[in-house]
Structure 1
């Protein structure tokens, strides 16, 4: 660790890129592309707002971990046992449903490139590859692989955006906050979807894995976080440009979910040639696979810490750490039981529970960070300043609105 601490700070960028890469998956690309196809550049400002919100949330999680030496779950637990009753069922249900969705997404991308195996077969192979990569808990290897995937997805999307010859004056008008009629939910979806949900809370665990565990790393943590979301912002803006220039101008519609990425690859292929379609599908695979691998590692760390903590195990108990029993159990949980869903379809009530609990996570994180970071749970030097509190309140309000819409949509569809 001493060698690592002696490195110049610009060579230490890593955990932020990991959390950003994990958080930007095919669903986020589709939400942004669809927003571009419907409204052109009108929602560009909301992409930037989303990046700022995520920077604030991730910085808060990182600041708490560095200032106290505690994990984010230990911070939540200090607010009362109600946090256990929310987080426990959530992480179990979320893992099962997300595992299936992640494998289906990577499977679809690989099937589109190499159709000699089925989507399910490619998905299963992706899940197994992800499990094998993170099983030992070696963070250095994990970070290098994620960095490579970020480079792939970044290059492919930026090339696609550049090929569309974007209208710069139109882009500039999109920087002015404006909500077109009927676009409020699209605004919230784009802003809320830039860069992750539960994986934001994994940032503190990746800081620990990197060896950044004390307040002396506060400045480098903030630099790391800022650079990561600047890269994410450019990437997501590029997806909106593709939607605006390629789809909005031509009145082309694409499918929902992961299939929309395949549809978009087809449009790119028709316009610029098969090579562009293949290149884009490689980027789609990299976005899907980076999310899969990031969750297999980061959320497994969170589960291990949660289960060890509620059992009263010490902070540094091996079971609460990377490579421990609970960590490996959750990797297994993410990989094998969800394979059933690839063949048997999506159980309605499980999907409903996943949606309901998941929609509540971002408000939960924003509100609890406001609570934790303004009290004596954090040394006075590292508590929130006025600007951070204002931004966290705005984050909480935005995510509460999005959660209410999500709950209404899912529950009304049930009856």
Structure 2
């Protein structure tokens, strides 16, 4: 069994934001929130597995499936607005953070340099890779970067030497005082809406050349479980390292830029360089996958081709990348755009989840590959969680 498209999901959700969120969770609450991570990983495997199966069986990505099967024009236009706003515009807004994170990683390796030197270089590398339109090339590059992240962060955790008993106790559900926002942030940084569009889009493109759909679905299920599980392990390693290093201490602030420096007392001077490699890999993987996901979502909802070599597809991905590069290079604050994207994401996630569940339970759409009873029962708490998370996000924004 080899890694495949599922690793793009891991590449997408392990970014600078996840590093910061997991570090804050470990620093402020020790191992107490590990159960949240476990739940998030299970929920992500279930949802991404359904999106992957939809792409393989129908040959449509999630955006195309929504456009095709929402027959009421008003609802179709509303879905299109939400998808383009949340995924397309949202990807552009978050791209600045991805490029900045990758730049900070390189600054950690080359301390005398400035981020505005590195941001255009990283953007050009990402653009060149996406412009090739070659699935395998992009996939292999991301697999390499994710494996680098895995090596860096898991080795860092082993060097930190967490208490295994305390670590295992963290899988028992509890919500320490003041931890609710962190719980929701940890869930939100793992269950990422645009990954549903990205995963289904890549596999839908590959499925056009696949005759044995059943075998492809089986492979995708294993790939999704292993890939997302690996992403969960990386997040666990980051959270555990922060817990050992910072829990119970007075740490003024944690960010992707300062964590490496603050780890030096625990791991020595090499920590800065070691962690910087992981931060660079995390930023670069997200910088590549965000434009890709945005292009699948926008092109699918507008009825355009989702072929990576299609000119419109390339231009949408390039626009998202350029927007992020400009914001990151000039030090602009995309606050208003991010708030808008978060608000539309808050509405979109439960809507898309409901539609995804409906699609993969429709025999007309999925033929023999519909959900089983056990999977649908497992979906109940996941759907309730997603709905609650979205409501909380919208209320907090208001």
| TM-score, reference length from structure 1 | 0.87
2:308 to 307, 310, 322: 322
1:360 to 339, 343, 347: 347
Conservation of the 8 A alpha-carbon contact between 2:34 and 2:236? yes
Q: Answer yes or no: is 1:106 the counterpart of 2:102.
A: yes
- The equivalent residue for 1:39 is 29
1:294 to 289, 294, 310: 289
* Cα RMSD (Å): 2.1
Q: Answer yes or no: is 1:91 the counterpart of 2:91.
A: no
Conservation of the 8 A alpha-carbon contact between 2:30 and 2:244? yes
Q: Answer yes or no: is 1:266 the counterpart of 2:261.
A: yes
- The equivalent residue for 2:123 is 127
Shift of 1:44: 0.8
| Separation in structure 2 between the aligned mates of residue 83 and residue 61 of structure 1, nearest angstrom | 17
- The equivalent residue for 1:308 is 303
Conservation of the 8 A alpha-carbon contact between 2:287 and 2:321? no
| Separation in structure 1 between the aligned mates of residue 114 and residue 182 of structure 2, nearest angstrom | 33
Q: Which has the higher contact order (CA 8 A, sep 6+)?
A: 2
- The equivalent residue for 1:231 is 230
Shift of 1:166: 0.8
- The equivalent residue for 1:182 is 178
- The equivalent residue for 2:243 is 244
User: Per-residue displacement from partner, 1:270-299 (whole Å, max 9, x unpaired)?
Assistant: 332221220111001101111111223343
Q: Answer yes or no: is 1:383 the counterpart of 2:370.
A: yes
Deviates more, 1:399-408 or 1:38-47: 399-408
Q: Answer yes or no: is 1:202 the counterpart of 2:198.
A: yes
| Secondary structure, counterpart of 1:333 in structure 2 | helix
| Separation in structure 1 between the aligned mates of residue 334 and residue 140 of structure 2, nearest angstrom | 36
| Secondary structure, counterpart of 1:20 in structure 2 | helix
| Separation in structure 1 between the aligned mates of residue 263 and residue 363 of structure 2, nearest angstrom | 54
- The equivalent residue for 2:270 is 275
Shift of 1:90: 2.9
Shift of 1:174: 1.0
Deviates more, 1:72-81 or 1:225-234: 72-81
| Separation in structure 1 between the aligned mates of residue 293 and residue 324 of structure 2, nearest angstrom | 18
| Secondary structure, counterpart of 2:32 in structure 1 | coil
- The equivalent residue for 1:138 is 134
Q: Give the direction of change, closer, same or farther, for the CA distance of 1:90–1:187 in structure 2 (3 Å limit).
A: closer
Conservation of the 8 A alpha-carbon contact between 1:305 and 1:321? no
| Separation in structure 1 between the aligned mates of residue 248 and residue 35 of structure 2, nearest angstrom | 19
- The equivalent residue for 1:160 is 156
5+ long unaligned stretches in structure 1: 1-9, 310-318
User: Per-residue displacement from partner, 1:221-242 (whole Å, max 9, x unpaired)?
Assistant: 1111111122112111111111
Q: Give the direction of change, closer, same or farther, for the CA distance of 1:382–1:205 in structure 2 (3 Å limit).
A: same
Q: Answer yes or no: is 1:66 the counterpart of 2:56.
A: yes
Conservation of the 8 A alpha-carbon contact between 1:45 and 1:175? yes
- The equivalent residue for 1:79 is 70
Q: Give the direction of change, closer, same or farther, for the CA distance of 1:210–1:74 in structure 2 (3 Å limit).
A: closer
Q: Give the direction of change, closer, same or farther, for the CA distance of 1:266–1:87 in structure 2 (3 Å limit).
A: same
| Separation in structure 2 between the aligned mates of residue 116 and residue 289 of structure 1, nearest angstrom | 21
| Secondary structure, counterpart of 2:202 in structure 1 | helix
Deviates more, 1:83-92 or 1:223-232: 83-92
Shift of 1:348: 4.3
- The equivalent residue for 1:333 is 319
Q: Give the direction of change, closer, same or farther, for the CA distance of 1:377–1:251 in structure 2 (3 Å limit).
A: farther
Conservation of the 8 A alpha-carbon contact between 1:16 and 1:228? yes
| Separation in structure 2 between the aligned mates of residue 337 and residue 287 of structure 1, nearest angstrom | 19
Conservation of the 8 A alpha-carbon contact between 2:85 and 2:341? no
Aligned length: 388
